Structure formats: C-alpha cells, structure tokens
Amino acid sequence: MVAYPNILKYAFIALVAGILIIVAVSYQFNIKAFESSIIYESDTPSFGLQHGALRSDKIPFHSHSEEKPFGTYLQQTLEFKPFQGLFTAVNATAGVALQSRGEAHVTVVSPPEFDYVLKPAGVTIREIEAIAINANIQAARLKPVCLGRFNGSLPRPTSDLDEGVFMLYSLVVADDYGDLLSIRQQISRLYHEKGGEGALFQPEAFWPHVTIGYDRRDLFVEDGIYKGKNFCYARIHTEN
C-alpha cells in the first residue's frame, strides 16, 4: 500500500519524459524539414553575418511618409554597420560591382501597397505607423534564413530599362514569431473597416528580407521577384 503512490509517481515522470522526447524529436524534425526545403548548389559558399545584426530594439523608429509616389511605406529599421561586412564579402564574389543602399531595413508595407491599395481606401500612414509603434515594430524578432540571389532577366520587362540581366542579393529573414505579420494583419483589419477590397491587400503576401546589394536597381514583387526561401542561394552563419 505504501509503494503504490511511488509507482504512480514514476509512471507520471516516465510519461512526462516521453512527451518531452516526442516534442523535442518533432521540433528537430520540423527544423530539418524547413532547412531541407531550401535547395543549395553543392559548391555554395556560406557568408557570415555579425551577431545581433537583426536586433533593432535600441534603434529609433524611422518614418517614411513623403508626399511623392513611392515615398510612403513602413519599415523596421536596422543598423547598417553590422551588414557592411556581408556586403563586402558578397560584392567580392558577385563578379560585378554591386551598389549598397548604405542602410538596412525590412520593408513591412511596401510603397506600391500604400500608394495603390491602402491610401485609396483611406488608410493613412499615420494610422499605419500608430499600429506599428503600438506593436513595437523595432523589437520585432527576426532570424536569418539565407542569402538570396537573383541573377537573370526580368520575366515581364515593361520598358527598355528593364531589359538585360540584373544581379541582386538580399538577406532572407524569418518572422517566426509573427511580429511583423501581426502588424500587417492589423493594417488589413483597418483596411477592411474602411471598406477596402479584400482581394487587394493580403497580409501574408510578405517576404521579409534585407536588401544587401544590386548592380542596376533594387527589384520587387512588382518585377516578378519573390524573396522567400525560394530565393536562397547561400547559407548564412552568425559570427562575432
């Protein structure tokens, strides 16, 4: 009679341990599944990213609301300095001279989304920024995924300037905690409340990245360039 509670105790401990093992194994499996869905070439290099480069909670929010086309958008501002080494290393292997933007950020609402969709529905940049600041956009948690590269011609050139080969590199990042996605979802709700057409703003149509360098100009979804995992070219490792 005295030993009985002990058996229960050990059975309970074994049960908890078993559950923990199952959780740990499936977590590992998910990470592997995520990584193995990225296809790298066998000779792909690995580029170093300075530790903490994606931490921006100490950096002030930066507003972009110029009264000109493509002058208004929402971004998470990053410090440029930790990206300089990555730019130099990427530029040295690109085979062409790349331009750097001289700053680093993650676009959360793009200029075309604002100009063509949100603004016509009556959503103001002040309202968007209020949502972002309230959600502490600068503290959004990002993880590096890979170095993305585009080296090719645009699928639908719309002018002579779009002809020929473009080279572009970005750091693809993961918004694993949904911090940025949740800002886009709140903006989407406001857009709906103002009578916006649901089909025109998709909060999940969002591929967070940091532009590293390009030869001619930056390229966007509107150019037919999708900067998700599909775009991965090289591995990224963090370094001190």
Ligand X SMILES: *[C@@H]1O[C@H](CO)[C@@H](O)[C@H](O)[C@H]1NC(C)=O
Where do contacts with ligand X occur on this chain (CB under 6 A)? 88, 91, 94-98, 151, 165
* Distance of closest approach, residue 93 Cβ to ligand X, in angstroms: 7
Nearest residue to 150 (alpha-carbon basis) of 92, 224, 83, 235: 224
User: Which value, to the nearest 10 degrees, does the dihedral of the CA atoms of residues 77, 165, 41, 223 take?
Assistant: 50
CA–CA separation, 38 and 36 (whole Å): 5
* Distance of closest approach, residue 149 Cβ to ligand X, in angstroms: 8
* Distance of closest approach, residue 91 Cβ to ligand X, in angstroms: 4
Nearest residue to 106 (alpha-carbon basis) of 34, 170, 49: 170
Residue ranges with strand state E in 56-164: 64-65, 72-78, 104-109, 143-153
Residues making up the chain, counted from first to last: 240
Residue number, 38 or 89, with CB nearest to ligand X: 89
Residue number, 94 or 187, with CB nearest to ligand X: 94
* Distance of closest approach, residue 95 Cβ to ligand X, in angstroms: 4
Residue number, 117 or 167, with CB nearest to ligand X: 167
Residue number, 16 or 96, with CB nearest to ligand X: 96
